[in-house]
Amino acid sequence: MKIIVTKNYDELSQKSFEVIKQVVTENPFAVLGLATGSTPLGTYALMQSDHKHNKTSYKNVTIINLDEYVGLRKNHCQSYAYFMQENLFCNIDVDEKNCHIPNGMAESLQNECERYSALLQTHKQDLQLLGVGPNGHIAFNEPNTPFDSLTHVTTLTQSTILANSRFFNNPNEVPKQALTMGMKEILQAKKILFLATGKSKAQIVKKMLEKVSIDCPASALLLHPDVTVILDEESASLL
Ligand code: F6R
């Protein structure tokens, strides 16, 4: 595991962007596993401006997102489909048919999970980008999710609902369930890029790097052969 500590969020975003750009430059047909949340926003902004100024192309790249809330339409302003559209897809040349996000409105959520797992079998990620929840979740794999789990429906913990309520009018509006890529499917990625920023992540960053433990899903990354962890000084402050 390679750990990089940056001065601040801007530097973290720059380094993270450089890793993604290298993967896409080396392989224009790369499969990128991407995340939502506030952490990757700076990275996505740099991808958009690089595409505009340097013409880095995503035309043949496949994007497979980590997760989606159950019950939000694609055009709901808090759905992850909407987030990706607004914060990345709309300003790069990625082909819509190569962009994949679980459908949280599917009639059968079980079938949707199976469809997504099958997609991940045939499209293994060259790079998987991850943020982390204050309770150690990666994607929406909450504490105690088995490390061999596949895409599944998960019930969000109170900690996650509270953390994500900052994007909604109040905690009651946060969906209680989500579809999430499973731990096994995250760990299948050739390369993992893990980002954490800010004081609120310092405790969990310390915990995940101590030892592999099922109550801290992010600690499973200690088992992966190619992980780059990029932290800012605040999230690295307890190391
Ligand atoms: C989002 C996701 C989540 C977030 C995590 C951190 O697709 O999978 O695991 O990465 O909740 O969110 P932020 O970046 O908002 O702190």
Q: What is the pLDDT of residues 16-43, one digit of tens each?
A: 999 999 999 999 999 999 999 999 999 9
Ligand 1 mean position, distance from CA 132 (Å): 5
Does 139 contact ligand 1 (Cβ within 6 A)? Answer: yes
Q: Is 67 a catalytic residue?
A: yes
pLDDT at 130: 98
Q: What was the pLDDT predicted at 227? A: 98
> Each residue of 112-157: pLDDT tens digit?
999 999 999 999 999 999 999 999 999 999 999 999 999 999 999 9
DSSP-derived letter for residue 214 is: T
112 touches ligand 1 (CB under 6 Å): no
Strand segments, DSSP code E, in the chain are 2-6, 31-34, 62-65, 67-69, 99-100, 127-130, 152-155, 177-180, 191-196, 227-232
3-state secondary structure of 121: helix
